[in-house]
Structures are given as C-alpha cells and as structure tokens.
C-alpha cells in the first residue's frame, strides 16, 4: 500500500521538474540567446543535475524546442471552419498576431541561430515548420475539394506564397504585420488561384 502511495507521489514531482526545466530553458533562451545557452546553465537555474535533463532530452536544441512548442502551440492552432478558405484566412490572422508578439521575436531569434546550429535547425524544421506545412497542405486540399481553389495549383508553392511573406518581414523587420497585411496576402493569392465559378 505504501509503495503505491510513493509511486503516486513521485509522478507529480517528476512532472514539476519537467515543467521547471522547460520554463528555465525558455526564459534563458529569450534573455541570453540560444548560443549562450547550455545544458549546464539550464540545470543550474532549474536546480537539477545535468543527468536529469539528459534523461529527457538528447541536447539543448531538443529542450528549447519542447519549451517553445509548449509555450506557443495553444496560440498557433490551425482553425477548423466549414469552408477551408476561411480557415486559411483565419490562420493567417493568427500568424500575424503571433509574429507581432514577443513570441515572434523568439521565433526570429531561433531561426537566426538555426543557421549556425544543425541540431536546432533540424529540430525547428521537423517540429515546427513541417507539421504546420502539413496542416496547411490538408486545408488547401480541402479547399480544392470544396471547389474554392483550382485543381491545377501547386500546393507547395501556394504554402510558400502564403507564409513566406510573414517570415520575410519577421526576419528583416521591414514593416509591421497588422491584420490588414494578412488580408492582403490572402486576397492576392486567392484571387490568382480561385476556382472560377
């Protein structure tokens, strides 16, 4: 009986440690950047041993990506609406809002650092970019099925055209990204790819 109680009490502790490590990793990468971050600094700030971290993650890129995804995922959901084209428009608005926030600066920082760190580049691509491209691909395919987009469009090119401008402005900081900008992108691309009625 006492064994069961001890096991039950052990789980929340483990989860608390897990969440504490993620919070520290996110705080530190936001303050000092990915390059200056280390497993040692995360362990020290979270008051855990390095082995505790390495039991959960293979490297600091994996820790940072988990922390980033826990922080950002609830705000980066691809909305589901009856018409897929409306889902695309709504998601572009969500993208603009996200990139205007502090999280946008974090994404920009991680993208920049990914050019110099192959582990971060791989983690960012596989865990952030590719899953979102797949959601966009499925939504565009549904819009084609619903008759709102031409059947002959290149879906991959359309994804680049929809989201490329956001990353361009985010990285180069050329202009702000209000909702009107998301509407401009949506209207410009849809006007060229809409199925003629």
pLDDT on residue 156: 97
| Cα angle 130, 86, 186; round to 5 | 70
Q: What is the pLDDT of residue 79?
A: 83
* Helix locations, 49-154, DSSP H: 50-54, 60-72, 84-100, 102-114, 118-124, 130-145
In this prediction, residue 170 carries a pLDDT of 95
Burial zone of 21 (CB within 10 Å; 0-12 exposed, 13-18 middle, 19+ buried): buried
Residues of the chain with pLDDT under 70: 1-13, 74-76, 193-197
Supply the pLDDT for residue 11.
44
CA Rg value for the chain: 20
State the DSSP code for 125.
I
Residue with tokens 């008759």: 147
Beta-carbon count within 10 A of 132 CB: 16
Instruction: Give the dihedral of Cα atoms 150, 151, 157, 162; nearest 10 deg.
Output: 40
Res 76: pLDDT: 64
For the chain, report the end-to-end CA distance as a whole number of angstroms: 70
pTM across the whole model: 0.82
């Amino acid at each position: 009986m006492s064994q069961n109680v001890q096991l039950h009490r052990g789980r929340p502790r483990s989860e608390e440690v897990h969440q504490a490590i993620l919070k520290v990793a996110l705080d530190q990468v936001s303050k000092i950047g990915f390059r200056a971050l280390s497993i040692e600094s995360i362990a020290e700030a979270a008051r855990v041993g390095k082995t505790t971290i390495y039991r959960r993650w293979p490297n600091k890129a994996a820790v940072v990506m988990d922390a980033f995804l826990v922080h950002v995922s609830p705000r980066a959901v691809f909305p589901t609406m009856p018409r897929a084209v409306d889902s695309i428009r709504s998601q572009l608005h969500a993208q603009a809002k996200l990139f205007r926030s502090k999280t946008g600066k974090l994404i920009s920082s991680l993208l920049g650092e990914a050019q110099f760190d192959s582990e971060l580049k791989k983690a960012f691509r596989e865990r952030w970019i590719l899953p979102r491209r797949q959601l966009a691909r499925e939504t565009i395919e549904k819009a084609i099925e619903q008759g709102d987009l031409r059947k002959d469009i290149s879906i991959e090119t359309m994804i680049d055209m929809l989201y490329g401008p956001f990353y361009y402005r985010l990285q180069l900081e050329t202009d702000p990204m209000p909702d009107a900008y998301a509407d401009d992108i949506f209207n410009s691309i849809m006007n060229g790819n809409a199925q003629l009625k």
